Structure 1
Amino acid sequence: MNSITFNFTVICMNDLIENHHLQNSTEPHWMESAAHKSLLFSSTAIGAVIGLIPAVPLIDLLGIRIVLTASGTISAIGSLLFPMAVDIDYYAVVACRILQGLGISIVFTVVGVIPGVWAPKSETGTFLAILSCAFQLSVVLCMPVSGFLCESSLGWKSIYYIFGGLTLFAFMLFFSFYTDSPRFHKNVSEKELKKIEHGKLEEKKESVPYWEICTDITVLTAWLSVFGGNFGFTILTLYGPTYLKDVLNFDVRETGIASALPYVLSALTKFAGGRISDRMDHLSEKTRFTFCAAVSQASVVFGLIVMAMTSNRRIAQIAYTFAITSSGLNIVGNIKCIQLRCRQHVHFAIAVISFFAYAIHIGSPIIVGMITSSAGSTTENWSHLFIIVAIVTVVTNLPFPFLTSEEPGPFVKIIKVPSESV
């Protein structure tokens, strides 16, 4: 929520411009500059990329518990200082946004790592689905709360103080309760530990084999698939509301509802998909994660094509909602494939995916601007954009069913132990 708060409060911050001009300043305020605001939107992604650089060695050295707590504290600091930064200067605001980005740099990595450690083998999909719902729920909660506080007597600055304070409280709880292994947790009984570890092979702790992972065909294929899926998903999430409002002429209230609804449905679909995947144990792991990945990516492509071909407002809204809702299955598709392949090194593989996601976030405004601002009708330009993104998504996902494997990679060192010792 800290990283996306500015996306909502930017419409409430006109008081900064008014106060600036009341001081008889002839210079325009940075809030009046589209370029300055664009940098603020991208600053969290820049901070996240910076945070990813030391993330993998720090996780190896210190563990998830310490590194995630530190990143959460940095995120909270970025939010708590933001209201003061706007009174200092523009670069102080950029610094706070970068701090918020540093705070989310390993969130996606953690979502992929924790289920492998804490989930029983038969419930990994469910764990992945539940943890990854945070991405949808943060938007669903942040939007109405920010809107309420913006219009209240507390004002938009209270949003940053409240979210920053709640973040500190949440991570204090996390640090006091979480451990990097169920074996060392005071609340895990011997019976529960046996259930968590049943059927798992003991993995040897070692340094990350970066080159072996980066040249493994399964990992490369999964990375390519996730890149294409993230590209389509990012375009939909960032610019779908703009398309609904500016091209299909939804009003602000309708756009808000149309934008929030898919995230709620996506969280529900993701949870259901995780449970179903875990219960279909009569099928191989590859069949299960390939099916989920195919449904996820095909839904994004379908939504993009329908939005490109129709001018009907309701059909476009249904296609947009369906695409984002179904895309939630990706977490038990591509990500589960990478988790099974990389095992104890999954944090590096998912850190690379995070890097791709943040790079897409930074670069997509340039691509969208080039296509939608060219000559021709606005509707036609957006249609061209959606078709291009759909083609990219299809091409990057075609190899996935044929070149991936559910088996641990040759770079994964496993200590085979008798089942009774577990």
Structure 2
Amino acid sequence: MSQVGDSVEEKAHNEKMDDSRKTSSIVCFNLTRYLILILTLTCLTLLQMNSLTFNFTVICMSDIVDDSHALNPNATHWFEDSNMKSLVFSSMAIGGLLGLLVAMPLMHRVGVRKVLSICGVFSIIGTVLFPLAAEWNFASVLVVRFLQGLGISMVFTVLGSVPIAWAPNNESSTFLAVLSCAFQMSNVICMPISGFLCESSLGWRSIYYLFGVITTICFLIFYFFYTDSPKDHRNVSNHELSLILQDKTTTHKESVPYLAICKDPCVLVTWLSNVGGNLGFLTLVLYGPTYLREVLHFEVRGTGFASALPFLLSAAVKSIAGQLSDRCNFVSERVRFTICGIISRLGLAIGYIGMATTSSTLVAQIAFTFSIAVSGLNIMGTVKCLQLRCKQHVHFAVSAIALMAYVIQFGAPILVGIICPDNTPEQWGWLFMIIGVIVFATSAPFPWFTTAEPAEYTLSREQQEEMKKQRELEECC
């Protein structure tokens, strides 16, 4: 947000800074920012894919039980215990939660490039070693799932931070929409491939090895190509840099006003909305294949494709919404993100209630698909709101959403284990009804208490002091 009437000296300083930059002769047709966007999306997608593998392979890993019984006929394998399987689901959330607490302040100091690369290493190790751990013992399975959780700990924070650094203001919504497609694309790619490999002669173990190798290659490219600022990238021309920085405030690293953000009503309402939204979305992500397989009785390969279709639709809807949000200048930013938030949450609640109240397999599948398809708009609503409200401190506000998501991801398997111990349609109906009501209740305040105006804590200290003095003068008058 530049001030009207910037000084000639400041413009001259910026021109001098541009001239002093060392740039490569290869400037990618002034489109380097899009290569950064695609590369970051690929890495985030792979991290999510690695974390999702167990969600699908849980329906085709029975051979480890047979092998165990061949050695110890009277022993109960951990895979046969629903509580232990729930703990395997939850252990990834614990990794994500603890990783976020460490990585968030670390990213503020050393940047996205180094922290996300470290997350990639953890994810690769956890994925490649999972087949061996599954054959070894239960403790080792928890460890590798914990490492996969460390891998996804910064996904939310990165998708909120990268558009601020790399996207021009008139492309920020598109960047946000594309990056957040990692949640959908990971399912679109992971589920069909997993379904195919599970039924092939290669078996479910090949899924982990394949994803591990691809993740290694992509993160090597990311580490050597990505930079935290476009100013530091040799393939960003001065022309492209001016496009990215146009109408942006030059910010410097400063302490995060944690208390002020946590007391901001707009932020609090947005966080509350994400509690219900994440509960609804993550339950379908974690247990979508199980629901399709055990309740709707899909075949393994059919489960893979049926699980992927809603996420493909969600990515398409989100991409269109991002384009519209950047181009619909005839309505305010607040109207744009509010519409996305309402459609996302209301659609998710309606889908859940539809699944809860029908006995038709076709209607349940339609409701399942609809719920996931519209839930993708959540990012265009809540995260966009936080970007506008918190500005340079958005990494903390978005990290708090991730923190709540990992707590929900830890608790959701426990909730499912309590309500749906036998995987009967009636039990799942009760679960879906409860979640649908929670989604609606937590999202109701969002349209009324949010704003697109930057908060006072996003201003410089001098500007905050001036505003304080101005308020004191107005009170005196």
TM-score where L is the length of structure 2: 0.81
Per the alignment, residue 99 of structure 1 pairs with: 147
Aligned amino acid, residue 137 of structure 1? M
Q: Structure 2: which 5+ residue stretches go unaligned?
A: 1-48, 464-477
Per the alignment, residue 206 of structure 1 pairs with: 254
Aligned amino acid, residue 141 of structure 1? I
Q: Percent identity?
A: 53
Matches within 5 A, 1:23-422: 23-24=71-72, 26-250=74-298, 252=300, 254-372=302-420, 379-414=425-460
Q: State the alpha-carbon separation in 1 of the partners of residues 303 and 448 from structure 2.
A: 40
Matched-pair contact (CA < 8 Å) for 1:296–1:328: yes
Question: How far does residue 27 in structure 1 lie from its aligned partner after superposition?
Answer: 2.2
Question: How far does residue 186 in structure 1 lie from its aligned partner after superposition?
Answer: 0.6
Q: State the alpha-carbon separation in 2 of the partners of residues 80 and 240 from structure 1.
A: 24
Q: State the alpha-carbon separation in 2 of the partners of residues 155 and 400 from structure 1.
A: 46
Question: How far does residue 147 in structure 1 lie from its aligned partner after superposition?
Answer: 2.9
Aligned amino acid, residue 229 of structure 2? S
The alpha-carbon distance between structure 1 residues 169 and 239, as it changes in their structure 2 partners (threshold 3 A), is: closer
1:85-128 per-residue CA deviation (whole Å, 9 max, x = no partner) reads 23432211211110011011001110111011111111111111
The alpha-carbon distance between structure 1 residues 416 and 260, as it changes in their structure 2 partners (threshold 3 A), is: farther
Paired residues, number: 415
Matched-pair contact (CA < 8 Å) for 1:286–1:406: yes
Q: Secondary structure at the match of 1:86?
A: helix
Q: Secondary structure at the match of 1:96?
A: helix
Q: Structure 1: which 5+ residue stretches go unaligned?
A: 418-422
Per the alignment, residue 50 of structure 2 pairs with: 2
1:44-89 per-residue CA deviation (whole Å, 9 max, x = no partner) reads 1111011011122101111100000011111101112223323432
Q: Secondary structure at the match of 2:456?
A: coil
Question: How far does residue 20 in structure 1 lie from its aligned partner after superposition?
Answer: 2.5
Q: State the alpha-carbon separation in 1 of the partners of residues 297 and 192 from structure 2.
A: 22
Matches within 5 A, 1:17-28: 17-24=65-72, 26-28=74-76
Q: State the alpha-carbon separation in 2 of the partners of residues 173 and 244 from structure 1.
A: 37
**Mean alpha-carbon deviation: is it higher for 290-299 or for 33-42?**
33-42
Matched-pair contact (CA < 8 Å) for 2:157–2:399: yes
Matched-pair contact (CA < 8 Å) for 2:196–2:301: no
Q: State the alpha-carbon separation in 1 of the partners of residues 300 and 236 from structure 2.
A: 49
Matched-pair contact (CA < 8 Å) for 1:65–1:175: yes
**Is residue 2:89 matched to residue 1:12?**
no
Per the alignment, residue 420 of structure 1 pairs with: none
TM-score where L is the length of structure 1: 0.91
Matched-pair contact (CA < 8 Å) for 1:341–1:408: yes
Q: State the alpha-carbon separation in 2 of the partners of residues 318 and 399 from structure 1.
A: 28
Q: State the alpha-carbon separation in 2 of the partners of residues 178 and 415 from structure 1.
A: 32
The alpha-carbon distance between structure 1 residues 164 and 246, as it changes in their structure 2 partners (threshold 3 A), is: closer
The alpha-carbon distance between structure 1 residues 24 and 300, as it changes in their structure 2 partners (threshold 3 A), is: closer
